[in-house]
A and B are shown apart, each in its own frame.
Chain A
Amino acid sequence: MGVTLSRLTLWRCFFRSLFLQAGFSTEGMQSLGLVYALSPALQALYQDPERRQAAFKRHLTPFNTHPYVAAAIVGGILFHEQRIASGDEGPEPVERFKALLMGPLAALGDGFFWLSLRPAVGAVSVALVPLIGAWAVAFYVVAYNLVHFTARWRLFRFGLSLGDELVPRLATWKVPAWGRRLRVVTAAVVGGTASWLAVRFGVQASGWLEPALDGASLVFGVVAVFLLTRKVNAYLLLYVSAALVIALAAFGVV
């Protein structure tokens, strides 16, 4: 490969990829953020203003993917742009690479990070609050970002070194299987937490009321899940249940 990017330029591109969604719009979506991330590399690779402008313009087309796994696409684009700048290939492969990968990688990132890892770490942290207090927040931020930043950096390196070959490498990570396991953890932890909150409600009372409230609040939790599966609005449920409890207190029941 004739033209290569310096380590500093690569770091700048990686850092700027953390701003991918800053200029999000309903038209270009993340295109502005993508060009912002690529900017140091494109300026280093293309001294000729016309070639540089052409490079910028080919990445100003609509672009949308998961912000974490976008690091793989940013790395892959840099892999291709180095080859384009060296004259080893034309602009078509990089455009194809972007168009082919952004959809599947968005699905992979949404499924794992947004719908599996984040709920699992969030649920475990909430469950830890009664045990370790504010340290649960430290656990949340550290545990989540250990996976998040490791994945982001490794995906960037994969894209940069493997280009189109990063897909088979990603398949070896077995991301969907890890996502399924984490979703089971989430369901178990939030179930346990719901039960803990319900019993806590009962222990505020004393005498005969305590077991009655324990049982009633556990049943209430089950009813709440049932109503939510029946598409009852969650906000409505929140306000109606609070109003019921306030009414019970007003009548001296609790």
Chain B
Amino acid sequence: MLLPSLITGLWGGLLALERRAFLQAALSRPLPAACGVGLMLGDVTAGLMVGLVFELFHLGGASLGGVNPDHETVPAVTSTALAVMLAQHAPGTAARPALWALAILVCAPTGILGRRVDTRLDARARRYFGRVVNAAAAAGDVERAVQQNLRAMWPHFVFYGLLSASAAVLGVLAAPVVQQCPPGLLRGLAWSYPVLGTVAAAMAVHASQGQGRLRVAAVAALVVALVLLGALGARAWA
């Protein structure tokens, strides 16, 4: 339990910095973030399938004008860690999509939590810098003021690291509970995974900003549906 928690915590903490403080090179977007934690915990597929849903769900999320959006990284990392740990500690209990769906449903609200924490940390930074930075600059110690830029990253690293690590711990602790779940519930959870994906894709269609986006999305959806259903029909006929 210790090593997976440590890995997840470090990954979650570092990605929280990448998302906000340094680089912003899309490594903290849900798909890469979830795939990364899945790879490190030994289940890339879980990372891809969980990351895919959150990538679509948060596709239009952006920090505009200093206003924080829902945190997209932390639900992706925590859900993947939870799903992988459940699969490892309750093997054979449920189909993997059931565990993916359960993890998504449990961890999705951490996106809202992340937005609120970011806003709190911004306000804390305002109070802190009002005191330390302005005092240092007024005293002529500008170098000290400048160094506060790097120190400001610590609270993000610590909070999101701990939150991510706790998801891996939860996975271990919740495994016996999942093993006691009625089969009907687990079957329902397995069925709900593609539905969660469909809702997330609908969210992505809604959030895409293009002119006539609904018309374009509808035409593309129709073409894909016809091609897929045609292929399935042809296979059934053969």
Query: Residues of A at under 8 Å CB distance from B?
Result: 18-19, 21-29, 32-33, 35-36, 39, 49, 52-53, 56-57, 60, 64, 67-68, 106, 110, 114-116, 118-119, 121-123, 125-126, 129, 133-134, 136-137, 140-141, 144-145, 148-149, 180, 183-184, 186-201, 203-204, 214, 217-218, 220-222, 224-225, 228-229, 234-235, 237-239, 241-242, 244-250, 254
Contact = CB atoms under 8 A, between A and B. Distances in A.
Given A148-B25, A189-B220, A123 B202 contact: no
The SS class assigned to the B binding surface is helix
Given A22-B149, A126-B31, A249-B184, A60 B210 contact: no
Contacts of B63: 114
B35 to A, nearest CB: 5
B201 A193 contact: yes
Given A52-B142, A242-B192, A218 B221 contact: yes
A137 B50 CA distance: 13
12 contacts: A19-B22, A23-B151, A56-B142, A187-B210, A193-B56, A196-B224, A199-B225, A201-B191, A225-B206, A237-B202, A238-B57, A248-B188
Contact of B198 (A118, A217, A246): A217
Given A32-B149, A190-B201, A242-B105, A53 B206 contact: no
Nearest to A32: B149
Contact of B209 (A183, A221, A245): A183
A159 to B, nearest CB: 19
B221 A192 contact: yes
The SS class assigned to the A binding surface is helix
B206 to A, nearest CB: 4
Nearest to A22: B21
A203 B152 contact: no
Interface stretch (B79-87, B122-130, B159-167): B122-130
B137 A225 contact: no
Interface string B187-224: 11101101111111111111111111110111111111
B24 A68 contact: yes
A91 to B, nearest CB: 16
Contact of A137 (B32, B142, B224): B32
B214 to A, nearest CB: 7
Nearest to B203: A234
A19 B199 contact: no
Contact of A246 (B150, B192, B219, B224): B192
Contacts of B24: 21, 67-68
Chain B interface size, under 10 / 10 to 19 / 20 to 34 / 35 or more:
35 or more
Given A25-B122, A25-B126, A183-B210, A197 B192 contact: no
Contacts of B146: 32, 35-36, 39, 56
B92 interface: no
A235 B185 CA distance: 20
B48 interface: yes
Given A191-B217, A192-B221, 16 more contacts: A32-B145, A39-B146, A123-B204, A140-B32, A183-B211, A186-B209, A188-B216, A193-B201, A193-B224, A195-B222, A228-B202, A238-B57, A239-B105, A242-B189, A244-B195, A249-B185
Given A23-B129, A123-B59, A247-B188, A238 B196 contact: yes
Given A60-B137, A125-B31, A250 B184 contact: yes
Contacts of B229: 199, 214
A124 to B, nearest CB: 11
A210 to B, nearest CB: 8
Given A27-B130, A32-B129, A225-B205, A122 B57 contact: no
Given A116-B209, A228-B202, A235-B109, A35 B221 contact: no
Centre residue among A121, A194, A237, A242 by max chain B CB count within 10 A: A194
Interchain residue pairs A-B with the least CB separation, the first 7: A191-B217, A249-B188, A183-B210, A246-B188, A194-B201, A224-B202, A25-B125
B55 A126 contact: yes
B197 A22 contact: no
